[in-house]
Amino acid sequence: MTQFDVTVIGAGAAGLFCAAQAGQRGLKVLLLDHAVKVAEKIRISGGGRCNFTNVDCGPGHFLSANRDFCRSALARYSAADFVALVRRHGIAFHEKHRGQLFCDGSAEQIVAMLLDECRTGGVVHWQPCSVAEVRADAQGFLLASARGPVRSSQVVVATGGLSIPKIGATDFGHRLARQFGHRIIEPRPALVPQTFSADVWAPFAPLAGTSLEVAIETGGGKQRGHFVEDLLFTHRGLSGPAVLQASSYWRPGQPLQLDLATGRDLDALLRAAKSTSKRQMGNALGQWLPQRLADAWLVLHGMPADRPLPEWRDADLSRLAQSLARWSIVPNGTEGFHKAEVTAGGVDTRELDSRSLQSRRQTGLYFVGEVVDVTGWLGGYNFQWAWSSAMACAQALAST
Ligand SMILES: Cc1cc2nc3c(=O)[nH]c(=O)nc-3n(C[C@H](O)[C@H](O)[C@H](O)COP(=O)(O)OP(=O)(O)OC[C@H]3O[C@@H](n4cnc5c(N)ncnc54)[C@H](O)[C@@H]3O)c2cc1C
């Protein structure tokens, strides 16, 4: 039977990076993954260009039941460290929006870089290869893999979250964690479009394709999310960065609070326009909102789009401005794991060591990446968590 220092289960972002780093430290590493294609999530990320990190990345950009947990790993392997690796591999990249770094070419370059790093580390890579069972005994771990039994002194679980099952996501990591006595923070879809019941959404469905910058808020207490980002109306509900970000904080039954005129005092603008212009309200509102939204909003609130501004009472102008600045709407759900970019929740960090990602319940067992209850905002933070947690783990693994 083959004997390894470390077996890494899951060859996605965190698993590839952890295996490569451990291998380069001289450890005998086996990396295995049940999917046919390696790192498919990296390949499809960032619209095919992989938003591989964010230059402004700190603990405040993550959700977790234990908010400080990610601090140590992020501090010890930062966005700048990963950028240096990307540069060493000659991959051209650019900053797009708020510190988000994307490949100029293709996400394939990041996959190729990680595979190259694994080759440098002499990593043995079995893929596709599933794992039926992981048992702990006095010598470490015994794995029942599709390519036969494997002995390993340490096991790293890097099997990701539940998002996008059609490209290989499973609950394997959560099940394995439970087997070793870990608690799981209830997994839920995050960075995901929100849906509404047919009757609530009927007036807005014709706005599908309309987008605008908004301020959005949801959640409560420490789990309150507030973002200023673009919103997109769809046939079934709301999407775009604003709603994806808010969805990570949203819990069933809670409203989304939106300011559709963010950055503007619409009440003052409408009063000023009333004193200087005879335009119809629909046209006036169209200066500050997408015209389709302005028209639909007036119909929805029983306000005449064709009434000239001077004929509006100040109180009605205020009512209109308020309705746009404080739109509160309750989703009936989300598009679910098949559309979610990430999974919030996962292995409870209170039972993991934040410096090494090692289980406090089973010596030699580690959890890295998205399987852990650390969820980043939209914008490259989730990959940075994959790299940082993988590096923290790789440095802690022992050669046996
Ligand atoms: C469409 C999309 C776009 C995204 N874009 C970005 C982006 O631009 N920037 C960003 O920061 N984040 C992005 N993300 C999130 C990011 O891809 C993940 O957070 C990141 O890949 C998590 O890394 P991971 O290694 O923990 O998990 P994954 O990359 O999901 O890897 C897990 C691996 O484990 C394997 N596996 C699962 N179950 C088993 C099993 N039972 N046995 C063996 N192997 C198993 C899977 O096949 C997979 O290869 C995006 C996600 C999606 C879905």
pLDDT in tens, 293-334: 999 999 999 999 999 999 999 999 999 999 999 999 999 999
Contact indicator for 223, 170 with CB cutoff of 8 Å = no
Residue 94 β-bridge partners: 102
Alpha helix stretches (DSSP H) within 162-265:
172-179, 198-201, 240-247
CA–CA separation, 68 and 52 (whole Å)? 22
Domains 2-188+340-396 and 193-335 share a fold: no
What per-residue confidence (pLDDT) applies to 399? 77
CA 325–ligand 1 middle distance (angstroms): 37
Mean pLDDT rounded to a whole number for the chain: 96
Gyration radius of the chain over CA positions: 25
What per-residue confidence (pLDDT) applies to 242? 98
- Rounded to the nearest angstrom, the gap between the alpha carbon of residue 230 and the centroid of all alpha carbons in its chain is 16
Instruction: Look at residues 110, 81, 100 and name the one whose alpha carbon lies nearest to residue 12.
Output: 110
- Rounded to the nearest angstrom, the gap between the alpha carbon of residue 114 and the centroid of all alpha carbons in its chain is 21
Band the pLDDT of 400: cuts 50, 70, 90: confident
Q: Tell me the two tokens of residue 95.
A: 């900053």
Question: Per the CATH hierarchy, to which homologous superfamily does domain 2-188+340-396 belong?
Answer: FAD/NAD(P)-binding domain (3.50.50.60)
CA–CA separation, 169 and 281 (whole Å)? 50
Kindly report the protein residue whose alpha carbon is nearest to atom 23 of ligand 1: 13
- Which H, E and C letters describe 257-287, residue by residue? EEECCCCCCHHHHHHHHHHHCCCEHHHHHCC
- CB-side exposure of 300: number of CA atoms within 13 Å? 18
**Best mutation site among 40, 41, 102 for ligand 1, i.e. most ligand atoms within 8 A of its Cβ?**
41
Model's pTM, two decimal places? 0.96
∠ CA 380-383-389, rounded to 5°: 135
Residue 65 has pLDDT above 90, yes or no: yes
The domain segmentation of the chain, as residue ranges, is 2-188+340-396, 193-335
CA 88–ligand 1 middle distance (angstroms): 24
CA–CA separation, 161 and 46 (whole Å)? 18
CA 329–ligand 1 middle distance (angstroms): 31
What per-residue confidence (pLDDT) applies to 115? 98
Question: Per the CATH hierarchy, to which homologous superfamily does domain 193-335 belong?
Answer: Translation factors (2.40.30.10)
- CB-side exposure of 385: number of CA atoms within 13 Å? 31
Rounded to a whole number of angstroms, the distance between the first and last alpha carbons of the chain is 16
What per-residue confidence (pLDDT) applies to 222? 77
Residue 1 has pLDDT above 80, yes or no: no
Contact indicator for 247, 232 with CB cutoff of 8 Å = no
DSSP 113: H
Kindly report the protein residue whose alpha carbon is nearest to atom 52 of ligand 1: 341
Residues with CB under 6 A from ligand 1: 9-15, 33-35, 41, 44-46, 50-51, 130-131, 158-160, 163-164, 168-170, 172, 341-342, 369-371, 380-383, 386
pLDDT in tens, 178-196: 999 999 999 999 999 999 9
Instruction: Look at 250 and 97; give whichever has higher pLDDT.
Output: 250
CA 361–ligand 1 middle distance (angstroms): 25
CA 340–ligand 1 middle distance (angstroms): 11
pLDDT in tens, 217-260: 998 887 899 999 999 999 999 999 999 999 999 999 999 999 99
In ligand 1, which atom is closest to the CA atom of 51?
A: 8
pLDDT in tens, 106-139: 999 999 999 999 999 999 999 999 999 999 999 9
